[in-house]
Structure 1
Amino acid sequence: MGYLSKCSSLLKTYLKRRFGKEAIPYSHQLETWKKLTEVVNEDLKVIVLKAPTSAGKTEAAIIPYIYQIVQDDWFIAPAVIYVLPNRSLIFSQFKRIKNMIQLLLPEELRKRVYITVDIGGLVGRSTQSPDTYPYYEKTFLFGDIVFTTLDAFFYSLIAQRTFLSRNKTLGKALFPVGNVSTAMVVFDEVQMYQDEYYYTPQILRKLFEVLYKNKVPTIVMTATLPSILERKIFKRSIQTSPIIAERSPYTRRIKVNLHTHEDMITRVNALVTELITKNDTILIVVNKVKRAIEVYLKLVRSIKNLNADIDIIHSRLKESTRWKREEKLEELERESKRKYSKKILIATQVAESGLDYNFDVLITEIAPIDAIIQRVGRVGRRSGEGEAHIFRPEDEKPYTEYIIEATFNAISRQPEKLKKAIDNLVEAQNLLDTVYRENFIRELRGECEEALSRTLKLLDSLGPFLNISVFPDTMIRTRCRTYITLLVPNDIILKNIKNMLKEPSLTIEVEKNVILGSTFNLNYIGNDIEQYPFLRFDNKVLKVDIRRGDYKSMTVQLEVQKVEQVRPLEVYIVNPEWYKVHNGYELGLLYR
């Protein structure tokens, strides 16, 4: 039995053990496995796999690596680095691949496979970590299968993540860069990196060039990639090997209802009450956190007699809270774990990818066309049937007016195309290219323009003797907008806040896991503290430096300082009055 046959056998075994069904590999999976053999035999090209949602892209990338473990035939690479756009996707894929390894490998082989999440900063997770989230671990991209963000991958590649102290530079590049150079690198959901400036796609292009020139096997995967974005990412300097699954192996029957003159908030109670009687699961997706909380509060008062469980997930919740709610979704997939017969989930953009859960109904606001395709793609994943209700948003934010109007026009003129686009890549591409045109891209100005210029210059200059310290950290980045990390204070921190406000600085010791689970990131919008009312304590902002100390220690020291300006990439304490809780249930940071 050859390589392709054994990969096919592994996939069949996995699907049988996980879903209890007989299946054979899809043609695009077989083609991906075959292309990998060509890539490692000096016909180096970047593999670009385009397939609809739920078409097995993850298995296409990971099964060949599992083949290597089973056969002890390491012809591709000794490790996989799996790059994803956000933490929600990362932890979802981590659990999925961990489960795949458990189902396919005997115990003696499982023990040898080190699967880890390395997203830099404060949070990490591995197969050796405790089962409870969160757990701190920073591996510098070392492991057999490593899940990471674009930011952590980028800063590893340019040698700004290291074991050494900040005032030392010798050997900075050796460990993380070495791990990249000996791995197969997978970039999944690349369409999620686009922005109105196309800043990050230009960084991606340079990263792909670096990997291509250094002969690192690379797979790029997507379900919805506009042609304009594809042209930005893949220039002539990169040879690609495209694999296109034009149609999903199955076709769903989704009824799409476009509510052009109704407000979702006004209709949501009556609509959910009507739909929940005929369906078990409803997904509600809105474009802003404030709107999500508003929908939750409106519904939670009206569904008490419907025997329905209702949850909210968005980006302004503590990491540990989001994790627990996403874990609960997985438990609900197993019927024996159900406490309620019905499930309603309210979410923001975090629901567009990574939620491996079947919904019967979608209620959503209009968003960019690729986001809409992803949202509708959450429906009917198991049953093959469902319905979607699409409303106009109260305004265009956080998107641009052009993209919202262009999407609305595309959907309203040809609603049938949206139904087909869920499982048909050709129809999806036509819709995407109708919306995303050259006039979508805004001209970079000011700080973003300077940051992009510096970052591209750095990537062009990558080499073993580059002194990275000549580039200011804040001017080297993968995104136009940077972020700050917010820490929701626990009881120990709250008790010390009065002292913090009296002293120039204060150091306290707290449990590491508690702190790591109490953070989330927020877009940086300038240094004026007036723009961050949720950070203010008596007109002061409290900045936190986390002194980790010994790697194995279960505690950390927090050095808290009063500051008069907010800086990007720093940690700040949230005023708990702005982090809303309703009847003991966390709603998250309510602002704008």
Structure 2
Amino acid sequence: MFKEILERICRKYTFYPRKYQLHFAEVLDEFIVNEVNKPIFVRLPCGYGKTLIGLLPFTGQNLAGEYPLSSRLIYVLPTRALINFFAKTAKQLMERIGLQGVDIAIEHGETHTSPHYFKDVIITTLDTFFYVYTKKAVIDNHLEFPAGCIATSTVVFDEAHMYQGGEGLTFIALKKLIQHLTEARIPVIIMTATMPEKLEKYLLEGTGKMSVEYGLSGLDEKYESNEGKKEYDVRLGDELGITDDVDIANIVKNYKRALMVFNTVSKAQKTYRELKDKFDNVILLHSRLCRVVREKYESRIHDLISRGEHVIIVSTQVCESGLDFNAEILITEAAPSDALTQRVGRCARRGGYGEVIIVKPKSSHPYEEQYVSIAMQYLKNLSGKTRGIVFSSFIENMKFINLMDYTPREENRMARELRTFMDGWLKVAEAPPENLDLRIRETNFISILHLVDNKLYNEIVDALKYRGKISLAKLNTSIEDFRTILKEHTFTLDMNILFEHKDGERTVKSFLLHEINGGKFVIRISNEMDENGRNNYFLTKINPDQKIIPYNMYLINNRYCNDEVGLHDLQ
């Protein structure tokens, strides 16, 4: 069934399906015929067409009018940027192949269009999926509504290599999810381009997986002939005499499309400031920009490229997913092999020749030093030409990626921590605040609101001079307008960066403090019932020595955030 449907879909795009796309369709057919109860693991190169096959369980059944797998699809991705990009791609594909009226919903910390997963296709983050999977929701007296929606879906974990964080709490949670879903006979598909083999074996241990892996049944000759046109010249900064403090302007001035990737937001911001006065069309991308700003910059990038203009992107790890950019030169700080692979993939993206310079930073943060050192030593032992093949050949690239071992250390201890974490998680899940942004990480997060409208910001600060807590009803802003502001002008922050330590005391950093009546206070935003029993927003003035509550929302001091560079000056 699925093989014939895949061929029909590809005819709409006037190309024939690739070798391993067809193999995936055959595995799906076998899954149904033999009533297999195993996860399907897919490892294919970047740009091979995983999106097409990831959607195939849904598109194939709908085009055939038969539903032996499930009636819905839940598509799980690691980042919001990927979700927004994928949603547009999915909608375009559905329309092109004649599937009209498909109800596609985005669900994550900033956007809630189907909080109980009752849509045809749900595109979500791992964190949000885990939250919905574990929570109890009562809708029309049906206690297990979200669980029922998941049980009638196929669940796809795409870009699964990018879920990592810290000591491995995320992967422990993912492993348990895969096990539980499979035991419940829910179809599960895990897709990746750069997941190390050790991590794959850990996640799928004991599941008896079905596999679709590039190279296991020989090479795809047509794909290889196209990818063979891609060539990289990879050089290391210390070999070129380039240090961490290099004047990057002298390097990028001769290139029309340049990409610089740094491991920290502060370094990216510093480099952006140095370049913006020397060149036109320098664009900064990182995780501390509001959603509406990120989308504006991404749109500007596409516009500049379409007009053939010079463009320089200064970015952090956010470029590793969802950024469709074809750089002529990439200058990147050293990182683990899978991260480097994703970054290099933004260079010579359409084929041809690309230059790559990898510079060793003063600190490996936020990565563990051992992973960065292993990757750099491997490249250092190769010649320049051979280094390029590491990134242009999928088989050679997997050897590089397999140097990484992300399997959780001290799994028993981490599993206990997951149970402790879950206790707190479930308490929040029973009565979640609006715009909840829970994450399965070792560290806690808060949501940050940046009020671009200084008039509204000043109005809030002035009102809190006379009261400790005010409702939105006391301000000149409607609930609908404020919801739009929350949707467009929030981002999340790791709680580890909220504090500084001086003279043995921990204090809240200035960007979270607001001057009110000569004192400095934190402002928390909450969604509660007012005295009339209606939902309303409240702003509460809090003494900074009180506890900052994880997963809640706080207002940022406008002096420390703007649309150009985002949140800045955190020291």
TM-score category, normalised to shorter length: 0.7 to 0.9
* Maintained 8 Å contact 2:37/2:187: yes
Please name the residue that 1:8 is paired with. 7
Q: Could you say what the CA RMSD is over the residues aligned between the two structures, in angstroms?
A: 3.1
Asked if 1:317 corresponds to 2:283, the answer is: no
Within the candidate set 299, 303, 309, 2:279 is matched to 303
Cα separation, partners in 2 of 1:377 and 1:532, compared to 1, 3 Å: same
- Give the alignment of 1:498-509 within 5 angstroms: 498-508=462-472, 509=477
- Give the alignment of 1:18-37 within 5 angstroms: 23-37=15-29
Within the candidate set 56, 69, 75, 1:63 is matched to 56
Name the SS for the 1:404 alignment partner.
Answer: helix
Cα separation, partners in 2 of 1:272 and 1:501, compared to 1, 3 Å: farther
Please name the residue that 1:525 is paired with. 496
Partner Cα separation in structure 1 for residue 246 and residue 18 of structure 2: 44
Within the candidate set 93, 118, 123, 2:107 is matched to 118
Asked if 1:146 corresponds to 2:135, the answer is: no
Name the SS for the 1:212 alignment partner.
Answer: helix
Please name the residue that 2:503 is paired with. none
- Give the alignment of 1:377-392 within 5 angstroms: 377-392=345-360
Within the candidate set 42, 45, 51, 1:49 is matched to 42
Q: Which moved more, 1:259-268 or 1:382-391?
A: 259-268
Cα separation, partners in 2 of 1:253 and 1:401, compared to 1, 3 Å: same
Cα separation, partners in 2 of 1:566 and 1:160, compared to 1, 3 Å: farther
Name the SS for the 1:388 alignment partner.
Answer: strand
Name the SS for the 1:544 alignment partner.
Answer: strand
Partner Cα separation in structure 1 for residue 110 and residue 327 of structure 2: 33
* Maintained 8 Å contact 1:11/1:59: no
* Maintained 8 Å contact 2:439/2:445: no
* Maintained 8 Å contact 2:469/2:538: no
Asked if 1:287 corresponds to 2:263, the answer is: yes
Cα separation, partners in 2 of 1:330 and 1:161, compared to 1, 3 Å: farther
CA deviations 1:263-285 (Å, max 9, x no partner) are: 354231100113x2xxx321111
- Give the alignment of 1:365-376 within 5 angstroms: 365-376=333-344
Partner Cα separation in structure 1 for residue 208 and residue 197 of structure 2: 17
Asked if 1:270 corresponds to 2:250, the answer is: yes
Please name the residue that 2:525 is paired with. 544
Cα separation, partners in 2 of 1:73 and 1:458, compared to 1, 3 Å: farther
**Structure 2: gaps of 5 or more residues:** 500-505
Partner Cα separation in structure 2 for residue 384 and residue 259 of structure 1: 23
Letter in 2 for 1:419: G
Letter in 1 for 2:146: P
Partner Cα separation in structure 1 for residue 139 and residue 303 of structure 2: 38
Asked if 1:341 corresponds to 2:309, the answer is: yes
Partner Cα separation in structure 1 for residue 4 and residue 250 of structure 2: 53
Partner Cα separation in structure 2 for residue 191 and residue 202 of structure 1: 13
Cα separation, partners in 2 of 1:196 and 1:525, compared to 1, 3 Å: closer
- Give the alignment of 1:195-214 within 5 angstroms: 195-214=165-184
Within the candidate set 475, 482, 494, 2:444 is matched to 482
Partner Cα separation in structure 2 for residue 345 and residue 191 of structure 1: 24
Cα separation, partners in 2 of 1:195 and 1:496, compared to 1, 3 Å: closer
Partner Cα separation in structure 1 for residue 133 and residue 58 of structure 2: 22
Letter in 2 for 1:97: A
Please name the residue that 2:78 is paired with. 85
* Maintained 8 Å contact 1:77/1:183: yes
Partner Cα separation in structure 2 for residue 456 and residue 565 of structure 1: 20
1:38: how far off?
A: 2.1
1:469: how far off?
A: 6.7
Partner Cα separation in structure 1 for residue 23 and residue 468 of structure 2: 62
Please name the residue that 1:133 is paired with. none
CA deviations 1:41-86 (Å, max 9, x no partner) are: 3122211100111111111111342233333232332111000111
Partner Cα separation in structure 1 for residue 25 and residue 245 of structure 2: 47
1:436: how far off?
A: 2.9
Please name the residue that 1:40 is paired with. 32
1:184: how far off?
A: 0.8
Partner Cα separation in structure 2 for residue 268 and residue 526 of structure 1: 28
Name the SS for the 1:186 alignment partner.
Answer: strand
- Give the alignment of 1:71-470 within 5 angstroms: 71-105=64-98, 109-110=99-100, 112-119=101-108, 121-124=109-112, 137-160=113-136, 171-172=142-143, 174-236=144-206, 238-246=207-215, 249=224, 250-251=227-228, 252-260=230-238, 261-274=241-254, 276=255, 280-304=256-280, 309-332=281-304, 335=306, 338=307, 341-414=309-382, 416=385, 418-436=387-405, 443=410, 450-454=416-420
Partner Cα separation in structure 1 for residue 39 and residue 525 of structure 2: 42
1:327: how far off?
A: 2.8
Q: Which moved more, 1:450-459 or 1:51-60?
A: 450-459
Name the SS for the 1:55 alignment partner.
Answer: coil
Cα separation, partners in 2 of 1:178 and 1:423, compared to 1, 3 Å: farther
What count of residue pairs does the alignment treat as equivalent? 529
Name the SS for the 1:481 alignment partner.
Answer: coil
* Maintained 8 Å contact 1:255/1:386: yes
Partner Cα separation in structure 1 for residue 205 and residue 377 of structure 2: 31
Cα separation, partners in 2 of 1:181 and 1:445, compared to 1, 3 Å: closer
Letter in 2 for 1:82: Y
